Structure formats: structure tokens, C-alpha cells
Structure 1
Amino acid sequence: MTVSSPAASAPDRPPVRLRAGALSLTASVVIGVASAGPAYSLTATLGLVVLAVGWQAPIVALLAFVPMLLVAIAYRELNAAEPDPGTTFVWATRAFGPLVGWLNGWAIVIADLLVMASLAQVSAQYTFLFCGADGIGSRPDDPRVLLLGLGYIVAMTWVAVRGITLSARLQAVLLTVEFVMLVVFAVVALIRVALGDGTATPELSWFNPLAIGSFSTFVDALLLMVFIYWGWDSVMSTNEETKDPRRTPGRSAIIATITLVGLYVLVTVAAQAFAGIGTDSGGLADPEHVDDILGALGSAVFGDSTIGTIAVHLLLLMVLTSAAASTQTTILPTSRTTYSMALHGALPARYGAVDPRYRTPVVSTVVFGVASILLYLVLSALSGRWGSTESPIVDAVSACGIGIGIYYGCTGLACAWLYRNRLRDSVRDFLMRGLLPTLGGAMLLFAAGWTAVTEWPSPVFLLGVGGMLAGLPIYFRLSRTMPPYFRGETLARQLPGPAEAVRE
């Protein structure tokens, strides 16, 4: 497969490139796991899943892992051929043309943008809760929460600008606190269950998907669980800055997803065995804390002794660090996607500018940070006047699932299409480059479509589908003002050959 390299056919690249070789395998895995924000995702999602499927929450957590693993395989195979920080944008363009490719890049931006307000808000709330200011931390609409949330976005944007090495070191510290406390929480909860202080003994029946009442309920719960895995693809967006960029990001993605499924199933089983699934008396489906499970269960699990109080504060710190870490790692893939889009002529060249000192895509990073601040302000201003039982920030989190399903799903299909002429070469090629990516991609595209249809005409539909459609006027305007990419001239419709590798 021989085509002209993207570097040669795209508009002139800036003289300064991202810092190559800055991330090791360990650092890459850390970014992948931290990007999913395990503690933040669990505390915000687990109660809603239990509310939908009851005792079957563990099997939903396990099954949601399947399409993620299959798509991670697609990412690994495509990255091995072309380690471009634009990931899905580049691969979907090569497979399906400029319109599909550009909209997939836009989907990454929209999904990451929609979740930023929630991440900043949770970071701010848990900072106040950690400091003992429960009256402020329990009120997401408090102006002080808004101001501190904005401060978190500014701070994490600054860290992202300062360099990928600093970002990775910060993530390692934050993830250590998060991972250790999640395991400690689960182990202590299971010990108390074994001592008779829990609600139920873990059973194999919790892993029976046929016990879920309806297919619609199952899909809705599965979509919620898919969200908690989202983020591991950040390791692909930082491939240009990773040692051995063709292999390390792919290995990191697989390791990250496997790590997440083990952690999620453990915590899910422990939490529902300890608290039960009731809608009152502290059950996981209790409306009082259905969207803040870990915060609500901390005192119950650890008790009110001195050690228990310390553990509760560490649990609060865990959720705080999880949301803060995810805020920072959400900035990384978005800025590198728009950086790559600029290099290939799909966005104005200024988005490809790299800071000569820190070797980061400074314009793309700062613009995304500013956009996140503006959206957070708008969504906060709409609180109380929102046409939904949920807040606009909660609806924005649900809406980002549409963008996630689109670009993950298209990556799976792009892998099978771009490797279509090699699928008969071996059983491995047929499975790893054809069948499995196609299944994973189809599942996630179905999930995105299901969300769009079932949420019509709710605010979730408006934010998710509306956000995607908002990219079309931008696409058509850019196609007139800077046409080479949009005519298919900068990215050929096939993967580049080995001799045409992206510079490593």
C-alpha cells in the first residue's frame, strides 16, 4: 500500500513538533486509565444503572466492556499503521472521505466539551466537601462552586500547555490516590458484608443478563456503563509523544480497558452487596444520592472512628482527584485532534501551532480551555430554567454519549474497511482487523443511534445531536475557504505504507 504521506500532501507543517518519546508505556497506561476518571464515573453513574437494572448492574458493567475492548483492538491496529494524533479523524477520512472524517473529529471535540462542565463542577464540589464546607459542596448551583470549577479548568489547561511530561507526572499522583482508595473501599465493603453488616451476599445471578426486565432497559443501562469506560483513547491522541508510537499506545489502550473492567466490576459488586439496591435507607437507588454513590456510602462503609473519618476524607479526595485528573486528560486528546486537523488542512493552520518551549499544541489547548469555560458558564446560567428534570450539566454528560458512540463506532468500521484487502491473509487479520472491530463499531454506533432516537426531543437530544449538526456549517464554510482537504487531496483513501510513516 503506497500513497503519498500526509506530511507531504498536507499544508506545510509548523517547524516545531510535539515532544517525541516523552511517554513510556507506564505513563501512557496512566493517562488511559485516568482519562476514564474511574471514581468520578462510578460515583456519577452506578446509582443510575442500579435504578434501571437492579441486581444486574455487575453484568452490565462487564458487558459494556466488550464493545470497548473490540474498538480498542481497532485503535491498536490502525495506530500500528499510522500513529497520528488525530486518530479517528485521520482514519475515518482515509476510509470514508473528508465529510465523515471531519465529523468524527468534530464528534471528539463535542463529546469532550460537553463533559468538561461536569468534571469541573464535581472537582469544585468535592473540594468543598473535602474541606468540610458541606453546605457549599452539596449545592452544585452555588456561585462559589462555579468559580472554583472555572479555576480548575484554567489550572488544568495551564498544566496541559506546560507539557506532556508534567501532565503525565500529575496524572500518576492523582491516579494512585484514586485507584488505591477505590480498591480499599471495595475490600472494606466486602469484609463488612462477610461480617454480616451488609445487605446481600454476592451471587452469580447478578451476572445473568436475562434477568433484566426488557431490552430497552438493558440498552439504556449499557449506554450508561459505556460512559464510564470512555477516555482510554487519550493514549492514542498522545501517540506522537509516546516512545515506540506504533506499538506502545495500542498496548496501553488494551491494558487500560482491562484494568478498568476489573476495577468497575469489583466496586459494583462490593457497593451493591453492602448497600443493596433499595430506593430508600441508603440503597444505591436512593434518589437522595443516586448520582453520588461513593460520597454517600463513605461514612457507612468506613464508620465514624478516627480511622474511618480519615478514610472518608481520603474517599472524598479520591473523587476530587478523579474529576480533576479527567478534566486535564480530556483537554489532551481534544487539543491533539484539532492540532492534527490543522496539520492536514481541515482546520485553520493556527490550530497546529506548537509552543517552542513546551512542545505542546498551545493554540488548540487554550482555545478548548476557553470554549469549556464559556460552555460551563452558559449551562450554569441555564440551571433552574432548563426544560428537563435534570440540570443542563447532567444532560450534557448524557448527551456526550452520542458523540462517543459515533467516533468509537466509526473507528471500528474504518479499521475493517481500510484492512479489507488483507482480511484473508490470516485468521488473525480476519479477527483483529475485520470481525472484532466491525462488531465493536456496530455496537457503539447502534448505541449512539439508540440514544438519539429515545431522547428525542429532550435536552439530551438537543445537546448531543444539535452539537453534532452544529459542525456542518463550519465544515461547508471551511470547504470553500481552504479546499484541499475537503477535496480529498491531503489524506489518500488508504493507509500509508511503512516507508511513509508519520515521523516518530
Structure 2
Amino acid sequence: MNSTTNTSKLSTEPVTKTGKGLTAGQIGLFTAIVIGVSTIAPSYVVASTLGPTAEAVGTHLPAIFIVGFIPMFLVALGYRELNRAMPDNGTTFTWVWRAFGPRAGWMGGWGMLAANIIVLSNLAGVAVDFFYLFLGQAFGRPELADLATNPWINVATCLVFMLGATWISVRGLHAASIVQYLLVGLQVLVLLWFTFAAFAKAGPAVEFSAEWFNPMGIDSFSAMAVGLSLSIFAFWGWDVCLTMNEETKNGERTAGVAAGFTAVAVLAIYLLTSVAATVFAGVGTEGLGLANPETIGNVFASLAGPVMGPAAILLSLATLASCAASLQSTMISPARSMLSMGHHGALPPAFTRIHPKFGTPAFSTIVAAVISTAFYALMRFVSTNVLNDTILALGMMICFYYGVTAFACVWYFRRTLRASLRNLITRGIAPLLGGIALLAVFVQTVIDSLDPDYGSGTHVAGMGLVFVVGVGILILGAVFLIGARNRRPRFYDTRPETRYVRQDLEQG
């Protein structure tokens, strides 16, 4: 039955697992945290963003990671409140719909889907690079690493990785978690090894200073906006824990705790690795410097050997494992978001199809994989630095849909803010400040990315490729909204909630 036939009932009774066909209680807190960390993929993030971030903010890498964590933490408080009131794996789509109405819900859901699908392509691309780098190191043939530069071989290998990740994802969270334990454990251990080795071998490149933790030392707001966009991307992914809330044990509480713990643990990893890499290599544009244009998109490729010696191959393997783990776990979010959108009537009924054996949204998973592969293939042939450009475009998408969700939290709970100090902070002040910060970064990034030299310098019709991809995707979502409104009027005739109906939470 289409759930939009009774919006009042939906507002007071969260949709059960049987309503969507998912299997309840598959995973516990520890597994949810592991999947959350794997989705963020700290090894992959450090390899791909440390260089561009150092180029933007210099030695203030720790500061920008901390500043980037703050709006994410503030928004996370709002996410937790929304998840308690409306536990639904549609997350942003469902919550923005209930607060602002179906059109806003669609755009919020569209932004979330776009971000997830873009990052799937990015993850696959980094996995390809490290796969051939690993082969070159393993067989002592550096020319094997050059195979990743051939676009046809690159895209074909990307397709193989995507097929493997899709196959595991379709088999369910339990099967996926077994793979995640090994891959996440490997990358965390090797990152710690790299960190301590870099500290031990640190030379005269840069002398450590507490000033690195001072965000006021960053030259301009434009530089800070670039750094924040990359930093926000670096933390992005913790909300996958909430998209699994209908499949976890004690769903509401477990998902919220897992999301918070994941974000804090990853912050610690970033601070350690960024300081270690800076004191070892510096932030220069030559040699091992983190901002060297030749290695800026993959700092581990140049630092692994000097830091870890013969064990450098482990860093390549760990980053490959990080990408593979995140590629598989990231599919959880768009697949379940599309399932929810189909369940509530915003997408065609086909997206509600559940695998008869594994109880997973197989159709939605396959659709996400196909679109991601196509997007990656297009960007690989268009962009001169596909990984850097997609990361910057991703930052725009993340700021957009996280910000919309934060504002939805404030508006949805507006009538309860004066009930207690806790309500005022967690449902009002915190998400509002987080949303404003993300909105500021989004606007500044849009303005800066208009410059044809922004990102890789690739441009279309005189505009930077990052702007074309980021803003173009949002415009495309608005165009699809028009078509969806005509095809599925029952959903788009629903009205937003005007009051908070869960009295037990209101009094909490």
C-alpha cells in the first residue's frame, strides 16, 4: 500500500521493517560503527584530500579538520533528534518532506542521492589507482602502475570493482559486515603505522607548531571555504549509520550512538595523520611536499616509500582496502534512500523491490551502481583531474543536503524549543548554527567554482567544471522534480507536518 494515502498515520507511527521488506535487527552497535568508519574511509580520504587541503590552507590542516568537524557535529545533534522522532531510512528525504513539504523533500533527497552516487564513482577511481600501484609494487614493475592512466583500462577496472561491491551489497548487511571487519581493521592499523613512522623519521621539513590548530591563521575566507569543503567531505558518511536504523538492534538509539562515535574516532585519525604527514613532508609544491601538483591527489603514492620503507606496499593495500570497503558500504545509503522514496511514493514502485532471498533493496542498489559507473566514465574522459574535481563538487552537495536537513530539524521542532534547555540546544541552536555554516561554505564554493581555473582548471563554456557538475546536478534535480510532480501527484499533494506529535520525546 502506498504510504502517502495516510500522512497522519505516517507521522505518528514509524514505518516498520516489514513495511519495506527489510530484515530487522541484523547488526549491533559495533558493526554499525565499523560500517560507519568504512563508509568514511579514512585511509582513502587522507590519500585524496590531504594534498588539496594543504594547498588551500597550508600547515593549518589540523585547524581545518577541527573547524570542519564542528558544523558536522552540530548537524549530527539535529540528525539524532530527527532520527528519534522519525526513524526512517530515507533520512534527509523523509525529514525534509515532513518539515517543509514534498518538493523540498525531493530536493533534499536528490542532493543526498547525488552526493552518494558521485562518491561511489570517486571511490572506484581511487581503488583503480591503488590497485595498479599495488600490482606494480608487488611484482617490482612500476610500469603496471601506469595502466591506471589509460582511460579505457581505468574505466573497465572501475566496472569490475563496482560489480563486486554491488554483489556484496545485494547479499545484505550481515554479509557486508564480515568483509568490513577485515578491511577496516587493516586500514586503521596501517594508518597508525604510517603515523608513528612519519613522526619517527620527521626531519627538518617543518617544525611542529601549535599555530597549526589556529583557524584564524588561514589567509582568506575563500581559502577557508575550500578547506572546509574538503574537510566536510572528509567527515561525510557517518549518517550511513542512520540509514540502517531500521535494520539495527534497538534501531533509534544504536544508530545515533554509532554515528556520533564514528565521527569522533575519525577526527582523531585525521588529526594524527595530518600532523604526521606535515612534519615529515611539509606543505610545499616540490618534492615530497603535500601540495606538489604531481602528487596532490594521492599523497600516499609519494610518501609511502620514504616513510614506511619496504612496508610501503601495505599502505597501498590499506588504501585499496579502504576504497573497496567504502565502495561497498556507501551503497547502503543511496539504495535505502531510494527504497524509502519509492515506498513513500516519490519514486516509481520499482525502487521498492526487495531481493526475495537476502531481503535487501537489490533494484535500488543496482541503479546506484549503474549511474555511478556512467558518471565516472564521463568524468574520466572530461576532467584532467577527475578525483579532485569530484571531491570539490561533492563538498557542495554535502553542504546542500546536510544544511537543508539542519534547517528542517529547527522548523519541525519549532513548537517544542521552549519546553526545555535541552530541546533549545539540540533541536534549535545547534542545528541552526551548523546549517548556517554549511550554507556559507556552499555559497562561497559556488562563487569560487565559477572561475575556470578552480579545481583542475577544466572548464565548460567558461565556467569551472566543479561549478557545472555541482550546480548542474541540483538544477537537474529541479527538472526531474517537475516530471515527478506530474507522474506521482499523490505524493506531491501531501502536506508538511505542522506539529510535533511524539509527546514522550517532546517532554524529553
Q: Does the TM-score normalized on the shorter chain lie above 0.5?
A: yes
Shift of 1:356: 2.0
Say which of 220, 230, 242 aligns to 1:224.
Answer: 230
Residue 64 of structure 1 deviates from its aligned partner by 0.7
Provide the C-alpha distance between the structure 2 equivalents of 1:465 and 1:451, rounded to a whole number of angstroms. Answer: 10
Partner of 2:206: 200
Cα distance in structure 2, aligned partners of 1:396 and 1:108: 15
1:55 aligned to 2:64? Answer: no
- The verdict on how the C-alpha distance between 1:230 and 1:11 changes in structure 2, with shifts beyond 3 A counting, is closer
Aligned to 2:30: 26
Select which of 283, 286, 296 maps to 2:289.
Answer: 283
The verdict on how the C-alpha distance between 1:496 and 1:160 changes in structure 2, with shifts beyond 3 A counting, is farther
1:145 aligns with 2:150: no
Deviation for aligned residue 1:3: 7.0
User: 1:12: how far off?
Assistant: 13
The partner residue of 2:435 within 432, 441, 444 is 441
- In structure 2, how many angstroms separate the alpha carbons of the residues matched to 1:481 and 1:9? 27
Q: Does 1:367 align with 2:367?
A: yes
Q: Distance in 2 between matches of 1:328 and 1:471?
A: 25
| Corresponding residue number in structure 1 for 2:456 | none
For 1:326-363, what per-residue CA distance to the aligned partner results, in whole angstroms no more than 9, with x for missing partners? 11122110011010001111001110111121010111
Quote the Cα distance in structure 1 between the aligned partners of 2:101 and 2:25.
31
Letter aligned with residue 423 of structure 2: D
Corresponding residue for residue 354 of structure 1: 354
Distance 1:312 1:244, change over 3 A: same
Closer, same or farther: CA 471–16 of 1 in aligned 2, 3 Å: closer
Structure 2 gap segments, 5+ residues each: 1-5, 451-462
For the 8 Å contact 2:17–2:246, the answer to whether it is kept is no
For 1:496 and 1:322, locate their aligned partners in 2 and report how far apart those are by CA, in whole Å: 42
Note the C-alpha offset of 1:137. 2.7
Q: For residues 393 and 203 of structure 1, what CA distance do their matches in structure 2 show?
A: 31
Question: 1:324-363 alignment to 2 at 5 Å?
Answer: 324-363=324-363
8 Å Cα contact 1:96-1:493 kept in structure 2: no
Q: 1:192 to 1:380 in 2, by over 3 A?
A: closer
Residue-by-residue CA offset, 1:30-79 (whole Å, 9 max, x unaligned):
11111111111111111111112211111111111101111111111111
Q: Is the 8 A contact 2:16 2:246 kept in 1?
A: no
Query: Could you tell me which of 472, 497, 500 is aligned with 2:502?
Result: 497
Distance verdict in 2 for CA 1:11–1:177, change over 3 Å: closer
Aligned to 2:216: 210
2:487 corresponds in structure 1 to: 481
SS at structure 2 position matched to 1:408: helix
In the alignment, structure 1 residue 84 sits paired with structure 2 residue 93: no
Pairwise mapping of residues 118-133 of structure 1 onto structure 2 (< 5 A)? 118-132=122-136
* Aligned partner (choices 432, 442, 445) of residue 451 of structure 1: 445
Q: Give, in angstroms, the shift of residue 225 of structure 1.
A: 1.3
How far, CA to CA, are the matches of 2:215 and 2:357 in structure 1?
53
Letter in 1 for 2:95: W
Q: Structure 1 residues 493 and 295 mapped into 2: Cα distance closer, same or farther (>3 Å)?
A: farther
Separation in structure 2 between the aligned mates of residue 354 and residue 217 of structure 1, nearest angstrom: 45
CA shift at 1:107, angstroms? 0.5
How far, CA to CA, are the matches of 1:360 and 1:391 in structure 2? 35
Moved over 6 A (4+): 7-15
Q: Are residues 1:17 and 2:11 paired? A: no
Cα distance change on mapping 1:64 and 1:38 into 2, 3 Å: same
- Distance across 1 between alignment mates of 2:352 and 2:278: 47
**Uncovered stretches (5+) of structure 1, i.e. residues with no partner:** 304-308
Report the AA paired with residue 54 of structure 1.
G
Instruction: Find out whether 1:256 has 2:258 as its counterpart.
Output: no
Cα shift readout 1:472-496 (whole Å, capped 9, x = no counterpart) = 222122212221110115x645555
Per-residue Cα deviation, 1:129-161 (whole angstroms, up to 9, x for no partner): 112253243454313222111100111011111
Equivalence for 2:42: 38
Q: CA deviation at 1:232?
A: 0.9
Aligned to 2:190: 181
Q: Would the aligned equivalents of 1:58 and 1:207 in 2 still touch at CA under 8 Å? A: yes
Map 1:238-253 → 2, pairs under 5 A? 238-253=244-259
Aligned-pair CA distance for 1:425: 1.5
Amino acid at match of 2:308: F
CA distance in 2, matches of 1:475, 1:228: 29
Report how far residue 27 of structure 1 moved.
0.8
Say whether residues 1:424 and 2:429 are aligned partners.
no
Deviations along 1:226-266, one digit per CA (max 9) or x if unpaired, are 11111111111111111111111111111011011111011
Tell me if the contact between 1:3 and 1:496 (Cα under 8 Å) persists in the aligned partners.
no
Q: TM-score w.r.t. structure 2 length?
A: 0.90
C-alpha distance in structure 1 between counterparts of 2:174 and 2:499, whole Å: 33
Partner secondary structure for residue 241 of structure 1 = coil
User: Are the aligned partners of 2:78 and 2:426 in contact in 1 as well (CA < 8 Å)?
Assistant: yes
Contact conserved, 1:14 with 1:354, CA < 8 A, in 2? no
The question of whether the paired residues in 1 share the 8 Å contact of 2:53 and 2:61 is answered with: yes
* Distance across 2 between alignment mates of 1:237 and 1:3: 21
Residue 200 (structure 1) shift: 2.8
| Alpha-carbon displacement from aligned partner over 1:420-452 (angstroms, at most 9, x marks no partner) | 111112111111111011111111122222212
Letter in 1 for 2:143: G
State the secondary structure of the residue aligned to 2:58.
helix
Note the C-alpha offset of 1:210: 2.1
User: Counterpart of 2:277?
Assistant: 271
TM-superposed deviation, 1:104: 0.7
Secondary structure of the 2:59 match is helix
Q: Deviations over 1:366-392 (max 9, x none)?
A: 11111112222222333xxx5xxx434
Q: Is the 8 A contact 1:124 1:137 kept in 2?
A: no
Q: CA deviation at 1:169?
A: 1.8
- What SS is found at the alignment partner of 1:289? coil
Superposed displacement of residue 498, structure 1: 6.9
The 3-state SS of whatever aligns with 1:231 is coil
Residues 415 and 500 in structure 2, CA contact (< 8 A), matched pair in contact too: no
The two structures, once aligned, show a CA RMSD in angstroms of: 2.3
Given the two structures, how large is their TM-score scaled by the length of structure 1? Answer: 0.91
